[in-house]
Amino acid sequence: MGSSILSIIYLIGSVTFVLGLKLLSKPDTARKGNLIAAGGMLLAILGTIFLYRVADQPLHNYGWIFTGLLIGTVVGVLSAKKVKMTAMPEMVSMFNGMGGACAALIAVVEFNHLINAITADTTAVAIAAAYVGGKLLIILLSLVIGAVSFAGSVIAWGKLRGKISDFSFNGQHLLNLGVLMLIAGLSVWLITGNIAATTATVVFNSIFLLALFYGVLFVLPIGGADMPVVISLLNSFTGVAAACGGFLYNNPVMLTGGILVGSAGTILTMLMCKAMNRSLKNVLIGSFGSSNRVATAGGKEQGHYKEISLNDAAVVMAYAGKVIIVPGYGLAVAQAQHVCSELESFLEERGVEVKYAIHPVAGRMPGHMNVLLAEADVAYEKLLEMEAANNEFASTDVVLVLGANDVVNPSAKTDPASPIYGMPILEVEQAKAVIVNKRSMKPGYAGIENDLFFQPKTSMLFGDAKKVLQDLLVAIKEA
């Protein structure tokens, strides 16, 4: 009876995951989708704890189980509530890494069970004979993918926090390939060879350490501008590792969740690469946006930029018919989303049409700007995707760029020598006037200068985005 109820619970959990993912596809239903999927996961966890049977025996050590759940819940809730929007990518990366670590630890536990199941004669026992149906292969896949995801996510977290710099050296890709081949070779030997249990344990632990090392090498050389793609890719790795855990335990809800995360992460990775006009291979070996990149796009001589005063900017925007705001990471750093929303509301009261243009890779993770503006209660219908925004720039009086850089750089279209050449951008230069708010003329995350800043229609408005928007709002009210 208990197993039948558990099967129904797992079915409900799987359905909530699919439904939640479907609702996440639209901003106005995303919150509801997240809650539905979370509810399904909670139901599946409680069902497993109270109804799952091992050799017709219920689980025990409930004290340890619920203590772990309580600690994890408290840490997760407090971390999520305290995190700033600028640190959201780091949190996503770290939480994703924890998922990879869990998958790897599951593999370690299951391998120990395998070793314990082997006969006492450990001198020449075939490890593969202990578990049939490729179970050892699944254990190894879960171990390697989970360890790579964990180590890579930790490095990504360090890069996003600014604590780890891009690092590469001649022959690093060959080293990466060599480590990967060594992992594959040891795995094949472990699966097919007649290995004593003690030797098998040493080989397994070596694979674990090599996978962690590969995860570090895998992410370390990748440049900052590619981090949204890397986070998405590592997320798909964690999903695949979780799906392997579902195979190990014959757990349909764990399998479904892992497959959904893995496939969604893979699709998102492909979309991110398309948005940057780069192949996944280029992302992984190209080091786009690394800290050692030169500061000019093609080594050409730039002209002079012009500044605009706060009062002049206020007049231009107050008497415009249509304004499009382009948010970037600088807006998130300044925590200026609420002031930006106030500015939008006041401009609309004066009869100005205001919209937002969102680039797919703006910020430090996919959807960063959407989440940032949603926090300030900006209406979803005002957020234009890149293609729609590009169709409206020509009829726009003023574009206000807030902390965005590489995603509005015209050299992506005009300069074959630029490292971002071919990347689809927001074509803000088509507007009648462009006002760019930045702290300084320092290059963006890709490490290259922006041709937009030196065009005749562009004016620079320097300063912290929050302070500038506050002063601009006051000046517009007086205009």
Say how far apart CA 406 and CA 297 lie, in whole Å: 11
Q: Is residue 406 among the annotated active site residues?
A: yes
CA-closest candidate to residue 222, choices 168, 275, 274: 168
- Residue 85 in 3-state DSSP? helix
C-alpha distances (whole Å) from 268 to each of 95, 182, 364 are 18, 30, 14
Contact indicator for 105, 94 with CB cutoff of 8 Å: no
Residue spans of alpha helices (H) in 118-134: 127-130
CB atoms within 10 A of CB 294: 12
Burial class from Cβ neighbours inside 10 Å (0-12, 13-18, 19+) for residue 28 reads exposed
Question: Is the torsion defined by CA of 388, 390, 391, 397 positive or negative?
Answer: positive
Rg (CA), the chain: 26
Per the CB < 8 A criterion, the answer to whether 356 and 325 are in contact is yes
54: left (phi over 0), alpha (psi -120 to 50) or beta: beta
267 within 8 A of 412, measured Cβ to Cβ: no
The CB density around residue 2, as the number of other CB atoms within 10 Å, is 12
d(CA 367, CA 68): 31
- 189 CB contacts (<8 Å, ≥6 apart)? 195, 203
Which one from 56, 377, 397, 406 is the annotated catalytic residue?
406
What is the Cα–Cα distance from 63 to 74, expressed in whole angstroms? 16
Spatial distance between the Cα atoms of 212 and 155, rounded to a whole number of angstroms: 11
SS3 at position 286: helix
**DSSP code, position 296:** S
Assigned token pair, 77: 């809730």
Residue 394 burial (10 A CB sphere; 0-12, 13-18, 19+): exposed
CB distance 390 to 359 below 8 Å: no
Are the CB atoms for 371 and 85 separated by under 8 Å?
yes
Helix (H) or strand (E) holding 381: none
Pull the structure tokens for residue 94. Answer: 């770290």
Active-site annotation, residues: 406
